Each structure stands twice: as C-alpha cells, then as structure tokens.
A and B are shown apart, each in its own frame.
Chain A
Amino acid sequence: MSTAPTPPRTPVTEDVAPQRSDRSPWNWLLLVPIVVVLLVPIYNRVEPTLFGWPFFYWLQLAFVALGVATTSIVYRMTRRSPAERQAARDAIARDADAGSRED
C-alpha cells in the first residue's frame, strides 16, 4: 500500500485499513442502561411521585440521563488521541476540497 502507482490489486479482501481494535473493557458499561431500563418491575409504581409525576414516568425520563452518561463515558474513555482525531478532520477537509474541484 505504498503511495507510488501500483498495478491493480485483485483480491478485494486485501487489507486496506490498518489493523485496529474496537475492544475495550469500558464497552461493558453500555449494558447498564439497557438492562436497567428493561427491568420494568423496578419502576412500575406510582409512589414516590415527583412534582405530581408518578414514579413510572419521572424515573423513565431520568433514565435518559443514565443512557447519556454511559455512552458519554464510553466515548471519552475509548477516544483516540488528539493527533489521530486531527488526521480524521484533515481527511474530511481534503475530501471536501477534492469534491469542489471535481467536474
């Protein structure tokens, strides 16, 4: 995969991108909101109410925050280095330039 012009590579299965891994122990955190939200018996109650809202309603809306928190944490903890993210931004900018120059 050098930058010099090369003859066509026939097998499509050849690696194009470098090897990386998307495995991380942090990913397990994503299970928390899924499991908690599906345990209906824990919130299928009226009491305690909050501002007139039965438990069933306000707790489920509060679970939105739980989902946001877990996905945010996983994103932060598995994020790539600033240099790598800059490389992605550069690639976007470059493609945008290339796009506007094409006929």
Chain B
Amino acid sequence: MDGINVVELTIVVVLFLLVTVLGFAASRWRRAENLMHLDEWGLGGRSFGSWITWFLLGGDLYTAYTFVAVPALMFGAGAAGFFAVPYTIIIYPLVFLVVIRLWSVSHVRGFVTPADFVRSRFDSPTLALLVAITGIVATMPYIALQLVGIEAILKAMGVEGDLPLIVAFIILAIYTYNSGLRAPALIAVVKDTLIYLTIIVAVIVIPSKLGGWDGIFGAAEQKFSAGAGVILPASGQLGYATLALGSALALFLYPHSITGVLAASNRDALKRNMSALPIYSLALGLIALLGYMAIAAGTEPIGTDGNTIVPVLFQQMFPSWFAGIAFAAIGIGALVPAAIMSIAAANLFTRNIYKEYLRKDATSRQEAKVAKVASLVVKLGAVAAILFLNPQFSIDLQLIGGVIILQTMPSVALGLYTRWLHRGGLVAGWVAGMAAGLLMVYNIPKLNPDGTVAREHFGGSSFALSKLGLDTKSAVYAGLLALLVNLAVAVVVTVMLRAMRVDDGVDGTAESDYTAEREDPTVRDLPDPLASVPPGAAREGGARR
C-alpha cells in the first residue's frame, strides 16, 4: 500500500470525468424548455418510463454505502449481515400497492414531497412540518455516508488528504444544481453497468482463486465457530426478521425514495419496477458474500476502517485496471444517491418550510431557485460533517435515521388508505414514537467481540427484550418497537379527540385521486391554488371520455 496506484487512479478519474460530462449534458436530455420549475428540476418532469425508473430507483436505494458496509458487516458479524437480502426482497411486495397510490394522488394534486401529501390529506401544516423535518434529518447523514464509500476507495488507492473528496463533491453539487434529477437518472445507467460488471466478474474470478464456495463458506464457518458459524444463533432470529421488516417499512418513507417514485411517468412503470428491482437484491446478496470472500482471502482492513475490506479485496484479486473499474463503480455509486438525496431534501425544504412559512406567495420559479440553492447547502453540509465531525457520528445518525423515518409511517403510508387517524393523534404519535425510538437507541451499548462494552450509547439498533423485563435473549429492531408506540398513542389520542369532537380539518384529496391514471386530468388543468404551472394547453381536451 505504498504510494498511489496510478493505474487505478487514472481509470477512476477518467470514468469520473465521463459521468461529469453526462451530468452536465443531462440538463439537455428530454429537455423541457424551462427547468425553473420544481416538477422539472426536482422530479425530472415526472416523465421517466420503466427503464429509467429502474436505473434511478436502483441507483437510489442500493447505495455505495450499502455496497461497502454490508460486506464489511458480513466480514465482522457473519450471517446477521445478510439481513439486507430478506429486507430488499419483502420491500417490493410490501409497497407494491402503496407507492402507486402515492404516485396517483401526487400526480393529480401536484405534490412534490410526502409532506405535501400529508398537509393536504390531514389539513395540517404542523404535521407536514414534522414529516418534512424528519425526512431532512434522516437524509442528511445518509448523504454524508456516501462520502464514506468514496473515502474507502481513496484510501485503498493510497490517495491522501481530503481534497479529492471535496473536489468530487463540488463537481457533483454543480451539475445537480444545473440539471436536477435528470443528472442522477442518466449517471445511474453508467453506475449500474459498472456495478453489474464488477459483481459478475467478482463472483466468477474470486471463488476460483479461493478454492471455490466450499472454501469461502468454510473460512467463514471457522471464523465464527465460537458462535453459530455461518447461520444465525437461535436468539438472533427475531432480531434478523424484525430488522428486515422494519428496514423495509422505512425504505420507501425516505424522501429520496419518494422522489424516485414520483418521477415515474405512470403507474405501470412503477408496478413493473416492483418486479424488476429485485435484480438488485440478487446483486446485493452476492456483494454481501464479498465479506466472506475477504475472510477466506485473509484480507486485512486499512487501519481500523472496516469499510475498506471490499476495496482491499479487489486489489488482492484483480489486476489494477479492473480494480480501477470496480472502484469507479463504488465511487459513482455514491454520487447517484447523494444527488437524489440532496434533491429530495431540497424539495422538502422548499415546499414545506420555505413556501409554507417563509414566503407563501413564492412563484414556481422562485421555488426552483430556492431548491437548487438548498441542494448545494445540503451537500456542503454533508462534506463538512465528514471533514469536521467524527464519521462515526454520521453512522450513528444514519442508524437513528431509519428509526425516526419510520415514525412518519402512520401519516404518510396509512394516510394513503384512511383518514381515520386524527391529525392531533398523528402528531402525538409522532412525538411518542420519536421519544421512544431515541430513548431505546440511546440505551443500546456497543459490545466488543468478547462481550465487554465498547461504547455505552448508540451501539446499534437491536433492542434487547430483556430490558423490558422479558425473560429472553432475543432482541428486536428498535424502530419497529417505536412504531408500535407511535401507533398506540395515535389511536388512543384519535379516539379521545373524536369523542371530544375536535375538528379534524378538510381532506384536500378525493377518493378517486388514489387510483388516478396518467391520462386522467389533474388539478393543474383547473385553476390551481397550489402551483402556478403554465397551463398545458395540450392537456385540456381528449383526456376524458
């Protein structure tokens, strides 16, 4: 690991320049004349078909951090790290019906963010603000973690200092500012090509060098022989299942996932993607096993940074030129989600904080302007977080991110089906769920492999049931428990408020909105109080029969 690996670095830089050109060119792709509208900049004109949606959502949900951290988890903790596979299998049948309802109502009413929907559905700017803030807070550390992925490959190539990281992010920030969601959509195509190429080569080449899969699983079996070997201990099964379920429930509540969903051009594109996106889960399962391959290959992380396991393994197994391609895949894999996340956070800020509280009469041009600037601020914040704070802080926050974003489930997901829960009950439930979730995560210690306590707080997200007085060694995903608290409080308060006949506001959506199709007219065809879209004259006729 002496000095810089020139071949690898050259390939990474060349591919990075290629996607930079694409990022800037994206503003001219399927171009609308006027990018200065949030629908255009922030949702790519709501025009992406099945293919682009597949690349966009795939690039969005399966991030570089996932590709680096999941194998690192397998390397360190064994079978428990494989939860990413069941998690990403159940997600699609789970949200199959839900996301298309969200797409439809947003299409008809012109919603850009989940908080827009909540505001209109429950007639509550307060609840919308809570949803928006939760979304922004959960997303910010996630963006910072994408930088951890880039850092891992820079370290492996022997590049020192923070400057390359800063330069990469500034370039990303500029073309996102310029092209909006079209940039990550186009770059995602390159990213996925590189990722799939890397995985296919890795699962063919590496096992053949390590004496086959028997040898790989055998090495892992030996490493974890003190525990349950390559399967889960009996007490770990409940935690495994609840973590998979809780993570799956959380994933499509994240603002960046919803941005990807709303950018689709119609319901069919989304439904088809619910069947096509699991191809990424297959890839993720193979990537996870890179952690075991690293065990078999005797890979040592650089310093104490476990996230460097995969890059170092690639260097051991591949010639420099192909390691360079694999590193570029990880690096570009970080840019795509970082761009989408910053756009999603910017949309939330613009629609639900700026327009709601700071400037109610903002024109769509001003909205787009504010969102573009906000996306810059968000990315600079992420760079600052990585440079000036301990990266562990971002990892802790991201862990909490899943727990807190789950607390928006009753208003965002259940809200798509029923308005029975009272807006006051939803606010109370959110407060209770947040408090419970944070309290639990705060009280989870991080243990060393020998069972001693390494850190007292924020040591993970699996909450030991014994702390609740239950006589068991099992643990449960804290986010799921917090969600139960949230729901219980929401129901109780709703019953109370209904008994006291407290006004629950006016529903700003109609039942038929939730099943609307692309060809149906939208409120933008009517004089619309929410958005001042230039009237699409062509939309007027013919849409109704």
In the complex, are the beta carbons of B85 and A61 less than 8 A apart?
yes
Stretch among B138-146, B230-238, B368-376 lining the A interface: B230-238
Cβ–Cβ < 8 Å partners of A34 in chain B: 90, 93-94
Contact partner, B32, options A3, A37, A100, Cβ 8 Å: A100
Q: Is B515 positioned at the interface, with any CB of A under 8 Å from its CB?
A: yes
Among B244, B538, B542, chain A packs the most CB atoms within 10 A around the CB of B538
Q: Known contacts A64-B89, A99-B33, A100-B33; is A16 also within 8 Å of B523 by CB? A: yes
In the complex, are the beta carbons of A102 and B32 less than 8 A apart?
yes
Contact partner, A40, options B213, B240, B282, B521, Cβ 8 Å: B240
- How far apart sit A66 and B534, CA to CA, in the bound complex (Å)? 45
In the complex, are the beta carbons of A71 and B97 less than 8 A apart?
no
In the complex, are the beta carbons of A67 and B31 less than 8 A apart?
no
A86 to chain B, nearest CB (A): 9
Q: Is B285 positioned at the interface, with any CB of A under 8 Å from its CB?
A: yes
Among A19, A20, A91, A103, chain B packs the most CB atoms within 10 A around the CB of A91
Q: Is B275 positioned at the interface, with any CB of A under 8 Å from its CB?
A: yes
Among B89, B244, B534, chain A packs the most CB atoms within 10 A around the CB of B89
In the complex, are the beta carbons of B34 and A72 less than 8 A apart?
no
Chain A, residues 40-55, CB within 8 Å of chain B (1/0): the string is 1100111000011110
In the complex, are the beta carbons of A88 and B517 less than 8 A apart?
yes
In the complex, are the beta carbons of A95 and B538 less than 8 A apart?
yes
Q: Is B54 positioned at the interface, with any CB of A under 8 Å from its CB?
A: no
Q: Is B47 positioned at the interface, with any CB of A under 8 Å from its CB?
A: yes
Cβ–Cβ < 8 Å partners of B79 in chain A: 56
Cβ–Cβ < 8 Å partners of B108 in chain A: 16-17
In the complex, are the beta carbons of B237 and A40 less than 8 A apart?
yes
- How far apart sit A46 and B519, CA to CA, in the bound complex (Å)? 52
A78 to chain B, nearest CB (A): 8
In the complex, are the beta carbons of A20 and B518 less than 8 A apart?
no
- How far apart sit A74 and B274, CA to CA, in the bound complex (Å)? 11
Q: Is B467 positioned at the interface, with any CB of A under 8 Å from its CB?
A: no
Cβ–Cβ < 8 Å partners of A74 in chain B: 96
- How far apart sit A19 and B520, CA to CA, in the bound complex (Å)? 11
A80 to chain B, nearest CB (A): 8
In the complex, are the beta carbons of A90 and B519 less than 8 A apart?
yes
A40 to chain B, nearest CB (A): 4
- How far apart sit A52 and B208, CA to CA, in the bound complex (Å)? 13
Interface of B is mostly: helix
In the complex, are the beta carbons of A13 and B510 less than 8 A apart?
yes
Stretch among B163-171, B263-271, B496-504 lining the A interface: B263-271
Cβ–Cβ < 8 Å partners of B76 in chain A: none
Q: Which residue of B lies closest to A38 (CB)?
A: B241
B261 to chain A, nearest CB (A): 15
In the complex, are the beta carbons of A20 and B512 less than 8 A apart?
yes
Interface of A is mostly: helix
- How far apart sit A53 and B520, CA to CA, in the bound complex (Å)? 50
Cβ–Cβ < 8 Å partners of B537 in chain A: 98
Q: Is B522 positioned at the interface, with any CB of A under 8 Å from its CB?
A: yes
In the complex, are the beta carbons of B518 and A92 less than 8 A apart?
yes
In the complex, are the beta carbons of B85 and A45 less than 8 A apart?
no
Cβ–Cβ < 8 Å partners of A87 in chain B: 517, 519
Q: Known contacts A13-B506, A45-B231; is A31 also within 8 Å of B512 by CB? A: no
Q: Known contacts A22-B100, A88-B518; is A60 also within 8 Å of B285 by CB? A: yes
In the complex, are the beta carbons of A38 and B86 less than 8 A apart?
yes
Contact partner, B230, options A19, A38, A54, A75, Cβ 8 Å: A54
A30 to chain B, nearest CB (A): 4
Q: Is B320 positioned at the interface, with any CB of A under 8 Å from its CB?
A: no
In the complex, are the beta carbons of B82 and A56 less than 8 A apart?
yes
Q: Which residue of A lies closest to B37 (CB)?
A: A102
- How far apart sit A42 and B520, CA to CA, in the bound complex (Å)? 46
Q: Is B473 positioned at the interface, with any CB of A under 8 Å from its CB?
A: no
A selection of 30 A-B contacts at a CB cut-off of 8 Å is A3-B541, A8-B526, A12-B109, A12-B120, A16-B526, A17-B104, A30-B93, A30-B94, A33-B89, A34-B94, A37-B89, A38-B244, A40-B232, A44-B232, A56-B82, A63-B89, A64-B285, A70-B93, A71-B274, A75-B271, A79-B268, A84-B519, A88-B267, A91-B543, A92-B47, A92-B518, A96-B47, A98-B538, A99-B33, A102-B33
Apart from A12-B523, A15-B512, A63-B86: 13 A-B pairs, beta carbons within 8 A: A13-B510, A16-B510, A16-B521, A30-B93, A30-B97, A60-B89, A66-B89, A67-B281, A71-B93, A75-B272, A88-B519, A98-B537, A99-B45
Closest 3 CB pairs of A and B: A52-B213, A17-B516, A91-B519
